[in-house]
A and B are shown apart, each in its own frame.
Chain A
Amino acid sequence: MIVSKAFWKIVLKNIGSIILPTVILLMFGTISVTSVDSTAQYEARKPALVIFNHDENVGLTKNFIEYLEENATIKTGYEDDDRLKDALFYEEVTAVIEIPENFHQDMALGHDPEVKMRSSAGYVAELAKVAVRRYLSVAKGYSALHLSEQELVAKVDKAIANGVKTEMKAAVDTSKYAKASRYYSFANYTILSCFITIICLIMSAFNREQVRKRNLVGAIDIKKMNRILLRNCCIYVLAAWVFYVVISVFVLGVEVVFTAQGALYAVNSLVFAACATTIAYLISIFALSAGAVNGLQNVLALGTSFLCGAFVPAEYLPDSVLAFAHVLPSYYYIDANDKIMKIQQFDAATMVPILLEIAVVAGFCVLFVALANIISKKRQRIA
């Protein structure tokens, strides 16, 4: 049909404007993968801990510190609290652990001494927390057996030694998803940029006053024509989305994409792609010029990507910016990507927040379509 033919011709004419954001996405994805995969990077990602030991360095306390030394880099010279806070903020130090007085005795007696922990943001900190909690829970478990401290130390040591490997493997897995998260979060920019550009340019071309009049006098139902245009927009969006997911197999690897997390990333991005389409649909009602579309596309794609943490992780952004970002669908899309990365196990507690955020993005779709319908009714001048 002639309308579809013109649609795809216009897509081809504008293909240049969608290549750049796609190439940037690929570059961004590939670079982050190689850098995190190297062992050097892996070493660097070992948690850096500061330990304040208020106990004697004997027995279980000594063993605990040795365990930490094995699994993390221990840093010293952070007695000044302000300095420590800065170090935590800049992730120079991953976590600070305070071992209380009488820790080794209390542990052996089966009490529950509190080990205070402060940590920076990010998954390395999560990793450190998991490692510490793991040691403490194992120790607590054996302390219930009322063993002598010597026996307790031996048992804990053995149990932990067996478990360490899996602990480290979990760490690698998380970093693997970190790349996926970054790829998909960066896709916020690519999806918005490409979809708004293409859909707006095409819809504006068909809706420009003069062309619209000529379409109206044509022997074709204008409503049918709009349906054809919308259908083709959907085909374009789906094709582009499939393309980005297929590309992600090469960028992120089979072992990331073909997992439950991989599927979640895909679903999340599909809903966001739908949302980007409705944004484009809303904008296209105004039949803007090519220049205006390009400007707006830049503002929206780059703006939301900065504000919502597609380029810079959200935890580095000021609170005021993040508060504002909450009114943007991109925020929920990117935050869901972060949450998917941090999934340790699939249960309601982890899944519900993710699904809720996806639902919020879907809600934005409905909102934008409703807005578009209201505005286009108001703008209908030619009867």
Chain B
Amino acid sequence: MKNVIEVKHLTKSYKTNKAVDDLSLTVKEGEILGLLGPNGSGKTTTMNCILSLLKFDNGEINIFGKEMKPDAYDIKSKIGVVFQDVAVFDELTVYGNIDYFCGLYIEDKNTRAQYVEDALKLVGLEDNKSQYPKQLSGGLLRRLNIACGIAHKPKLIFLDEPTVAVDPQSRNNILEGIKKLRDDGATIIYTTHYMEEVEILCDRVIILDHGKIIASGTNDELKALAKIEEKVTIEVPELAPKQLSGFEKIKNVSEVVYDNGVLKIVYRKGKNNLIDMMEYLKANKIQYNKIFSERPTLNDVFLELTGKELRD
């Protein structure tokens, strides 16, 4: 598969603060690449550099096999961008806004009218066409923001945290829409600090911290980096200290925490972990209410790699 974007040794500093530090990445045609990182890790800066919105200190950026420059209009015409902050005209209606931003790329009126309708449908704003941005709820405004960025059916789409401060229903709607864009053939770069979104959406993930790539790969590849297999949470109303220390001796258990009637057990690699656990509970006549088991998340991977949580 072709590389749509190639970034080599990108470095960008704000005074002494290195926002992006010798970053190299490639994006393949037709994939959704997730850029995951905590606040201030350099996601937006990376994106702005790739888009030639920012001058960078060092590095090389090629898109569709050509060097990206501020006046590379042939490249720009195939790109759609959804910025982190809502960027629309307050004075134009929902329809007027999409029509305007689409019109920066598509001159033909009829084609544009069709594209605007498609975009409205994609984000589910058909009923809000003639409303002004001020009349929209936060979630709908985010959807409008997305529609404005993708209405011209670009081949390459950048989305910078498009779901921040959006209710769960709008979020699902947005994520579905993005999948549809990929299925229609677009290549997508999706920036976020929500690991759940990355897990649902992205074919490949790059984890950033302090402007550096600390890990990359598919979800499963990344999770393999976490040295844990699963996490088990058990509600145990009462537990003697002796019983507690007994848990640590069970096979594969790496960590046990008991707090406020909740027992948390972390396992290293291994099979049949839950069965051993149940047997121990039975043998020691420990009363318990609920048990649930989780696979490791990207947060665990991040924790493993940096020693801190993705979200504070």
Contact = CB atoms under 8 A, between A and B. Distances in A.
Which of A6, A201, A208, A219 is packed against the most chain B CB atoms within 10 Å?
A: A219
A10 B88 CA distance: 13
A217 B51 contact: yes
A234 B99 CA distance: 24
Contact of A210 (B77, B85, B104): B85
A13 B100 CA distance: 15
Contacts of B96: 6, 9
A217 B81 contact: yes
Interface of B is mostly: loop
A14 B70 CA distance: 33
Which of A208, A213, A215, A290 is packed against the most chain B CB atoms within 10 Å?
A: A213
Nearest to A12: B91
B44 to A, nearest CB: 11
B89 A211 contact: yes
A152 B137 CA distance: 92
A66 B104 CA distance: 80
Contacts of A211: 87-89
A205 B88 CA distance: 9
B86 A210 contact: yes
Contacts of A216: 53, 70
B77 A219 contact: yes
A214 B103 contact: no
Interface string A199-236: 00100010010110111111111000000000000000
B101 A214 contact: yes
B79 interface: yes
A10 B87 contact: no
Interface in A171-197: none
Contacts of B71: 221
B87 A214 contact: yes
A382 B53 contact: yes
Interface of A: 2, 5-6, 9-10, 13-14, 201, 205, 208, 210-211, 213-221, 290, 382-383
18 contacts: A6-B89, A10-B89, A201-B91, A205-B89, A205-B91, A210-B86, A210-B87, A211-B89, A213-B53, A214-B101, A214-B149, A215-B104, A216-B53, A217-B51, A218-B101, A220-B73, A382-B53, A383-B70
9 interchain residue pairs of minimum CB distance: A2-B103, A210-B87, A218-B104, A219-B77, A10-B91, A383-B55, A13-B91, A214-B87, A6-B100
Given A205-B89, A210-B86, 4 more contacts: A210-B83, A217-B51, A217-B79, A219-B76
